[in-house]
Structure 1
């Protein structure tokens, strides 16, 4: 079982590793934390040009740049947390082999350090809402639920892959390819309504579908798509619990194979 009391006792280490992760990401960087805005903003501009302008992808009646950014905002957090947490054990192999601490602290610190980027990227959301004169609806009150689902999904998969990567280094090489595939398996550049009705009952099992469509609905004053959110929530809980227990099960061999 997972010892949550032990994790709490090591909260200072978790804080230190989170802070170290933030500093390492922007060390010797001229623009610093501005990259948390620049990267998703320029990606959105490219998506707007290619998918919104050339491919004429339906954006459900809203400006495509706003449509895609509200999806990239949570997606970038998911992909960044997934990548960093999956590599956290390998990158800290020296710590694992020299001193004891709850290994779960490593993927947790990766998740927490990416929250800064997520928060900074919210500035662009505010700017776009003001520019397009869009007032969020009452659905904004449900964004903590969406964020919790986002955290569980990204951390659950991240813990599973991090435990797997210690034993099988192929995971590290396949991770970039996996993230790219997952991007197009989520409604980032298109809307869920574009998916044929016969496939939607399987498509909504992807936790990121409910998260992305929920963010769009919350900030664009549209009805919350609970029929897309709750199936993904159940899957996110299952993924989180499975990833956590698999990580705990494999923890005893980390120091031997790291």
Structure 2
């Protein structure tokens, strides 16, 4: 694409060659200036004269399947702005505001502990059922919120995508800071509960950030695939909530994996252990409250699975990125 600009007042003309397709945007041209001398005669619509005119070649980034960390870093202000907007809009026009960050996990843990421990009679060992469940909901909430919000973020920002170029990966990544902010509040509440029940964390607590990182990688990997598909197929937005509900009951959020082996046959336990969240949830609970155990095999399985899923998600997202603005 060749774009010619004629500045009559300054008697300047420059030519921009824009290489790209699909979502290529000219919004960046507003900030560009000409380097031509003021004595250059204005362009009158006729072919260029024999004297060469300055040319600048601009190439759209993000065309390959690799992750360009440098480009993401250049747009870090946009990434922060998107995250800040999400945080500000989340509890706007609510009576309790940010207090919901505290109320929601407490209510969830209370209801789940009543159902799984009080009604179903599933044991939680030496740890009070409420604390056991609350510790389990931390990693699950990170996975659930990251996946559900990041998978729909492209469709939710369709107007922004169709108007201006920026690394589209900034949108799903902008979901992570608000999730970590909520997690920080929940960890403060967990600390208060540990003090109340007189439970001291072990040295394994230093392993917990690794569990968190693996969980985020897995959630983002799945979300990148879902977000890429949702641009063309809106059916995905209805599949994600159903899949997450099924996965919740198939994961040891409010019950221990040892209880599963007591109630289902061995072959069913084998299928159950294929869920990569099983190892992550058990490891998370062990690191935080010392209940359960860290199964090295299960944790390695979850780690390898998270890396593979994240790599597939990145490749799928980057391969389809050029078409987002045209299709969405």
TM-score, reference length from structure 1:
0.95
Task: Please name the residue that 1:10 is paired with.
Answer: 75
Choose between structure 1 and 2: higher strand proportion. Answer: 2
Unaligned runs of 5+ residues in structure 1 are: none
CA shift at 1:232, angstroms?
0.7
Unaligned runs of 5+ residues in structure 2 are: 1-65
> Cα RMSD over matched residues?
1.5
CA shift at 1:116, angstroms?
0.9
Aligned equivalents of 1:84 and 1:246: distance in 2? Answer: 18
| 1:60-139 to 2 correspondences below 5 Å | 60-139=125-204
Instruction: Report whether the alignment pairs 1:240 with 2:298.
Output: no
Higher RCO, 1 vs 2 (CA within 8 Å, ≥6 residues apart): 1
Instruction: Report whether the alignment pairs 1:210 with 2:279.
Output: yes
Task: Please name the residue that 2:244 is paired with.
Answer: 179
Higher alpha-carbon deviation: 59-68 or 89-98: 59-68
Q: 1:142 aligns with which of 204, 207, 215?
A: 207
Aligned equivalents of 1:33 and 1:116: distance in 2? Answer: 11
The answer as to whether partners of 1:153 and 1:207 remain within 8 angstroms in 2 is no
Task: Please name the residue that 1:31 is paired with.
Answer: 96
Q: How many pairs does the alignment contain?
A: 258
The answer as to whether partners of 1:81 and 1:154 remain within 8 angstroms in 2 is yes
Choose between structure 1 and 2: higher helix proportion. Answer: 1
CA shift at 1:142, angstroms?
0.5
CA shift at 1:79, angstroms?
0.6
The answer as to whether partners of 1:139 and 1:224 remain within 8 angstroms in 2 is no
CA shift at 1:200, angstroms?
4.5
Task: Please name the residue that 1:219 is paired with.
Answer: 288
